[in-house]
Amino acid sequence: MTQLVDTISEMRRWSQGARQRGDVVALVPTMGALHRGHLALVKRARQEAQRVVVSIFVNPLQFAPHEDWDRYPRQLANDMAALADEQVDVVFAPSVEEMYPQGDSLTRVSVASMAGALCGRTRPTHFDGVTTVVAKLFHIVQPDVAVFGEKDWQQLTIIRRMVSDLNFPVTVLGVPTVREPSGLALSSRNQYLSPEEHQRAGAIYQSLVRAKERYQQGERHRDRLIDLVRATLHEAGLTPEYVEIVDPGTLEACPASLPSSALLAVAVPVGRARLIDNMLLGQ
Ligand code: AMP
């Protein structure tokens, strides 16, 4: 039986009980509207822990006022059914008032320079909102393990750094991106796409694959690979917000002549959606 918990006090009581029994607890933080990508995280959590908690919370702190917080898809009943099939123990779905009883959190957790890279350029407050809510969730759920998707590579890297800098007793695991047959990364925001936009969005993955193939053939010129990605997107009528090649561990821009390990990352507006994806080049 999957238990629905919506208060912090009940969540804490459950976690304390699990820990007293000696159970390893894994947490999968989400914003709901679950798809197979989220479920891959849950399956990984299941492998690592006796008890699995999935949080569902559309965190206002990580949305700017003009972004899609109010229209973000919310489908708790469907999500509960999918998570019951995965034998999740607890779904923690607090209200905004429960998480932010004073209306806001004056305290922010900020992984400074990393939060300003890549998506942080156009979403300057986003990652502080993410790290603040994830820190709160870690304090509330007290997991031994937390599982995140590599689709949001920047988020995963920032959370790893937060956990290291602030000594959270949590092991952070990353799970490879789950994709549609076209290669399009599964995302709750794909629901915003019309059928035609959905089809065009397949070019995002194709652009990454083309660049990776060129890299594997020996191309090490950063800007030529970036141009190739831009050209592939352009053919599909897409204009990226950014195409960047960065160090996968620090998110700092790679030099013009690429090293043996690099991360190619893109953000692409498609219709009403802003989609992100990434691919490791080299090791
Ligand atoms: P979200 O609900 O979008 O905040 O995502 C919750 C978690 O699921 C994050 O750790 C995401 O990186 C992860 N996730 C989202 N989409 C995918 C996907 N297609 N493959 C793997 N993980 C994903």
Structure tokens at 244: 């960047």
**188-282 has the same fold as 3-175:** no
Active site residue 38: yes
For residue 152, the ligand 1 atom closest to its alpha carbon is: 12
242 neighbors 258 (Cβ within 8 angstroms): no
Percent of the chain with pLDDT strictly greater than 70:
100
Q: Is the CB of 187 within 6 Å of ligand 1?
A: yes
Catalytic residue chosen out of the listed positions 38, 126, 139, 234: 38
| Backbone angles phi and psi of 215, in degrees to 5 | -65, -45
Q: Given this structure, which CATH class describes domain 188-282?
A: alpha beta
Q: Calculate the alpha carbon distances from 238 to 97, 202, 234, 245 in Å.
A: 39, 11, 5, 19
The reply to whether CATH 1.20.1250.20 applies to domain 3-175 is: no
Beta bridge partners of 278: 265
Could you read off the pLDDT of 250-259 as tens digits, one per residue? Answer: 999 999 999 9
Question: Best mutation site among 27, 41, 188, 189 for ligand 1, i.e. most ligand atoms within 8 A of its Cβ?
Answer: 41
* Ligand 1 centroid – CA 125 distance (Å): 19
* Ligand 1 centroid – CA 187 distance (Å): 7
**Average pLDDT, integer, range 165-169:** 98
On whether the pTM is more than 0.85, the answer is yes
pLDDT of 175 strictly over 90: yes
116: number of Cβ within 10 Å: 16
Could you read off the pLDDT of 14-58 as tens digits, one per residue? Answer: 999 999 999 999 999 999 999 999 999 999 999 999 999 999 999
pLDDT of 111 strictly over 70: yes
pLDDT of 233 strictly over 70: yes
Q: How many helices (H) and strands (E) does the chain have?
A: 9, 9
- Residue 148: pLDDT band by 50, 70, 90 thresholds? very high
What is the total residue count of the chain? 283
pLDDT of 283 strictly over 70: no
277 neighbors 208 (Cβ within 8 angstroms): yes
Could you read off the pLDDT of 77-95 as tens digits, one per residue? Answer: 999 999 999 999 999 999 9
Q: For the chain, give every domain's residue range.
A: 3-175, 188-282
CA dist 156 and 159 (Å) reads 5
Question: Edge-to-edge, what's the strand order for the sheet holding 171-175?
Answer: 3-5, 90-92, 51-56, 25-30, 145-149, 171-175
- Residue 13: pLDDT band by 50, 70, 90 thresholds? very high
Could you read off the pLDDT of 214-229 as tens digits, one per residue? Answer: 999 999 999 999 999 9
* Ligand 1 centroid – CA 151 distance (Å): 6
pLDDT of 105 strictly over 90: yes
For residue 38, the ligand 1 atom closest to its alpha carbon is: 8
126 neighbors 109 (Cβ within 8 angstroms): no
**Average pLDDT, integer, range 177-204:** 98
pLDDT of 282 strictly over 90: no
192 neighbors 273 (Cβ within 8 angstroms): yes
